[in-house]
């Protein structure tokens, strides 16, 4: 029988097949969790989209409803984190990166709308830091010293560009609802974030493209503010 | 770019973004270093392969001219692996997979080819991995993925094909090693699966029984072809790569079989050095590579 295998020790390919199959099994296991997360993300964005048609004074019910779905997403992320921390992070992270980014975006929007505050005194217009999002998701952020599941800077920044896209839409819709203050807050916020992105040295990647797109959002919201000021609709106190 | 205008300076998020900038810069720098190293490893590996294609022996040490000519390239490879070893440790071991894969594959192609010429066997994944680890030096091993090893082995078959065709055109016979069938890798063979595999291919009937028959390159090509054809890749980018390379690999083996056919049929008729079919084969082979 030894004569059958002169050049290749068949154990080589048996071993390789076993390794490749083991990776495939990990992928299958993670896939279900990622699909569950995707569902939670859809629910979060479904609920939060009501912000476009809800006056600020009534927003707390929307935020509470969103919080429920966010908690579900956090639960799934925790399970994902447990499972994924057993394998090299960057070997598989492309599988979930997109969904983790969407959850992050949901949390950022929820936080901006005042989700972190209590009751009616919710503070709006606040940008949750990457650490705050990590706390909310119960996962570490920007991990460097050990190999485990975490939220990356890129994911956070991409989620932030999504938030800006959504807020530029909210600026217009606020005006429709008769809220002339919110566009001003959004205007300032987008400018501040845009200024932040300006200091990054981005390579030719998705983050660069998204970051380049921010200037159009800045302009959109400026146009809204211009329209308001032209018609003397800007509330006095914010003018000063 | 670090300069901030008056408007930017007023942004409350500036400190946060400056932190991000530093992190992203580190990441991009690592990435650049790895891309460069990978490119250099690829180039040096190709040079090594070119030299090895001038070797005419099988199952013997690489002749001095080739060793001498390739030494600087091995040194480049070692230097490059060392230069990026620290960048590919811990959590970053897989982070730059896409950047290093080209260099790794090409290196495996040259390593497996040289190993084959010397020993007429396929270097194992573990040995190849250990080799890369040794080249990476003190800074920790650059990891070699099973995927890169497999894709490198596919490419090596093209080199063995070129080697065979050249040898046949020059010597008028298929390269055959000194190794006998019985001298294959020891142990392990007992548990080898599907001994019937070999029956599927058209091997000369005398080969399986004749333990002392030296193996030819064609025997080896057929054997590795079977192993690769039985390999079941996942549905992924890697799976797509395997599928593409599988076709090329099969063509390579076919080319050697066809060349041997024409050598067998017309070999006795041909005047010395007159091998039109083989010439043609060889040209298209180079193109496809």
Residue spans of the domains in chain A: they are: 10-151, 153-240
Minimum distance, in Å, between the CA of residue B110 and any CA atom of chain A: 17
Question: pLDDT above 70 covers what percent of chain A?
Answer: 94
Predicted confidence (pLDDT) at residue A4 exceeds the cutoff of 80: no
Using CA atoms, how far apart are residues A198 and B169, in angstroms rounded to an integer? 63
Smallest Cβ–Cβ distance between B179 and the set A6, A11, A20 belongs to A6
Q: Which CATH class is domain A10-151?
A: mainly alpha
| pLDDT at site B8 | 45
Question: Cβ of A6 and B14 within 8 Å?
Answer: no
CATH for A153-240 is 1.20.58.200
Question: Cβ of A147 and B91 within 8 Å?
Answer: yes
The verdict on B150 touching A (C-beta cutoff 8 Å) is: yes
* Closest-approach residue (CA) in chain B for A200: B21
- Average pLDDT over chain B reads 84
Contacts of A192 (CB under 8 A, 6+ apart): B10, B11, B12, B13
Q: A9 to chain B: which residues are within 8 Å by CB?
A: 121-122, 124, 184-185, 188-189
Q: A197 to chain B: which residues are within 8 Å by CB?
A: 17
| pLDDT at site B277 | 54
Instruction: Tell me if B44 sits within 8 A of B102, measured CB to CB.
Output: no
Instruction: Tell me if A100 sits within 8 A of B102, measured CB to CB.
Output: no
Burial class (CB in 10 A: 0-12, 13-18, 19+), A149: buried
Minimum distance, in Å, between the CA of residue A41 and any CA atom of chain B: 25
Confidence bin at A124 (pLDDT 50/70/90): confident
List pLDDT tens digits, range A143-174. 999 999 999 999 999 999 999 999 999 999 99
The verdict on B67 touching A (C-beta cutoff 8 Å) is: no
CA distances from B170 to A102, B166, B174, B175, B284 (A): 63, 6, 10, 10, 18
Smallest Cβ–Cβ distance between A1 and the set B28, B150, B192 belongs to B192
Site from B6, B8, B256 to mutate, A interface, most A CB atoms within 10 angstroms: B8
Q: Give the residue among B20, B33, B40 at the shortest CA–CA distance from B139.
A: B33
Instruction: Tell me if B220 sits within 8 A of B207, measured CB to CB.
Output: no
CA distances from A77 to A44, A104, B259 (A): 14, 11, 58
Phi and psi torsions of B180, nearest 5°? -100, 165
| pLDDT at site B63 | 96
Minimum distance, in Å, between the CA of residue B121 and any CA atom of chain A: 4
Helices (H), B120-196: 125-136, 146-171
Q: Which residues of chain B have pLDDT under 50?
A: 1-8, 182-210, 278-289
Q: A88 to chain B: which residues are within 8 Å by CB?
A: 91, 93-94
Q: B231 to chain A: which residues are within 8 Å by CB?
A: 13, 16-17
Using CA atoms, how far apart are residues B65 and A107, in angstroms rounded to an integer? 65
Question: Cβ of B24 and A17 within 8 Å?
Answer: no
Three-state DSSP class for A30?
A: helix
Which pair of tokens denotes residue A178? Answer: 């008769």
Question: Cβ of A20 and B234 within 8 Å?
Answer: yes
* Closest-approach residue (CA) in chain A for B207: A3
Q: B175 to chain A: which residues are within 8 Å by CB?
A: none
Question: Cβ of B185 and A9 within 8 Å?
Answer: yes
Burial class (CB in 10 A: 0-12, 13-18, 19+), B5: exposed
**Residues 101-130 in B contacting A (C-alpha not used; CB under 8 Å):** 116, 120-122, 124-126
The verdict on B24 touching A (C-beta cutoff 8 Å) is: yes
Report DSSP state, residue A87. S
Minimum distance, in Å, between the CA of residue B183 and any CA atom of chain A: 7
| pLDDT at site B214 | 85
Average confidence (pLDDT) over A110-122: 74
Average confidence (pLDDT) over A89-109: 97
Instruction: Tell me if A107 sits within 8 A of A42, measured CB to CB.
Output: no
Site from B3, B18, B90 to mutate, A interface, most A CB atoms within 10 angstroms: B90
Average confidence (pLDDT) over A48-70: 94
List pLDDT tens digits, range B189-230. 444 444 444 444 444 444 444 456 788 999 999 999 999 999
Question: Cβ of A145 and B193 within 8 Å?
Answer: no
Site from A1, A3, A200, A215 to mutate, B interface, most B CB atoms within 10 angstroms: A3
CA distances from B137 to B43, B80, B88, B141, B228 (A): 21, 11, 12, 7, 32
Minimum distance, in Å, between the CA of residue A236 and any CA atom of chain B: 22
Q: Do A153-240 and A10-151 fall under one CATH topology? A: yes
Average confidence (pLDDT) over A48-75: 95
| pLDDT at site B138 | 87
Predicted confidence (pLDDT) at residue A196 exceeds the cutoff of 70: yes
């Amino acid at each position: 029988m030894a004569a059958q295998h002169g050049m290749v020790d068949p154990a080589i390919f048996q071993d390789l097949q076993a390794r490749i199959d083991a990776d495939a099994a990990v992928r299958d296991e993670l896939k279900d969790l990622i699909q569950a997360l995707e569902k939670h993300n859809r629910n979060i964005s479904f609920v939060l989209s009501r912000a476009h048609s809800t006056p600020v004074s009534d927003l707390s019910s929307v935020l509470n409803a969103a919080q429920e779905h966010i908690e579900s997403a956090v639960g799934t992320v925790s399970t994902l984190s447990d499972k994924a921390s057993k394998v090299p992070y960057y070997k598989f992270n492309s599988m979930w990166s997109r969904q983790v980014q969407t959850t992050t975006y949901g949390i950022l929007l929820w936080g901006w709308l005042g989700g972190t505050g209590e009751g009616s005194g919710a503070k709006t217009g606040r940008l949750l830091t990457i650490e705050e999002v990590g706390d909310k998701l119960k996962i570490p952020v920007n991990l460097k010293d050990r190999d485990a599941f975490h939220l990356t800077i890129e994911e956070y920044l991409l989620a932030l560009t999504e938030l800006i896209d959504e807020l530029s839409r909210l600026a217009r819709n606020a005006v429709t609802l008769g809220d002339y203050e919110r566009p001003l807050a959004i205007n300032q916020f987008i400018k501040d974030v845009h200024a932040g992105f300006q200091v990054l040295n981005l390579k030719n990647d998705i983050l660069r493209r998204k970051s380049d797109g921010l200037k159009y959002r800045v302009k959109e919201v400026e146009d809204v503010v211009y329209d308001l000021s032209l018609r003397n609709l800007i509330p006095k106190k914010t003018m000063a | 770019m670090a300069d901030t205008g008056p408007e930017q300076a007023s942004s409350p998020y500036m400190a946060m973004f400056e932190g991000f900038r530093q992190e992203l810069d580190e990441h991009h720098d690592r990435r650049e270093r790895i891309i460069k190293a990978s490119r250099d490893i690829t180039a040096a590996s190709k040079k090594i392969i070119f030299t090895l294609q001038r070797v005419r022996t099988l199952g013997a040490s690489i002749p001095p001219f080739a060793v001498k000519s390739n030494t600087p390239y091995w040194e480049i490879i070692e230097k490059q692996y060392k230069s990026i070893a620290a960048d590919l440790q811990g959590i970053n071991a897989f982070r730059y997979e896409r950047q290093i894969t080209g260099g790794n594959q090409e290196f495996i192609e040259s390593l497996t080819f040289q190993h084959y010429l010397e020993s007429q066997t396929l270097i194992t994944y573990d040995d190849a991995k250990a080799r890369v680890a040794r080249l990476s030096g003190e800074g920790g091993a650059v990891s070699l993925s099973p995927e890169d090893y497999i894709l490198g082995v596919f490419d090596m078959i093209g080199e063995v094909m070129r080697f065979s065709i050249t040898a046949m055109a020059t010597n008028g016979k298929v390269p055959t090693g000194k190794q006998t069938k019985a001298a294959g890798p020891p142990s392990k063979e007992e548990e080898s699966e599907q001994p019937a595999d070999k029956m599927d291919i058209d091997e000369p009937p005398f080969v399986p029984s004749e333990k002392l028959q030296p193996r030819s390159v064609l025997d080896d090509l057929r054997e590795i072809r079977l192993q690769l054809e039985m390999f079941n890749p996942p549905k992924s980018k890697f799976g797509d790569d395997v599928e593409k390379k599988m076709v090329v690999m099969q063509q390579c083996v076919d080319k050697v079989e066809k060349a041997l056919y024409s050598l067998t049929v017309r070999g006795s008729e041909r005047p010395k050095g007159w091998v039109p079919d083989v010439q043609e084969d060889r040209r298209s082979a180079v193109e496809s590579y």
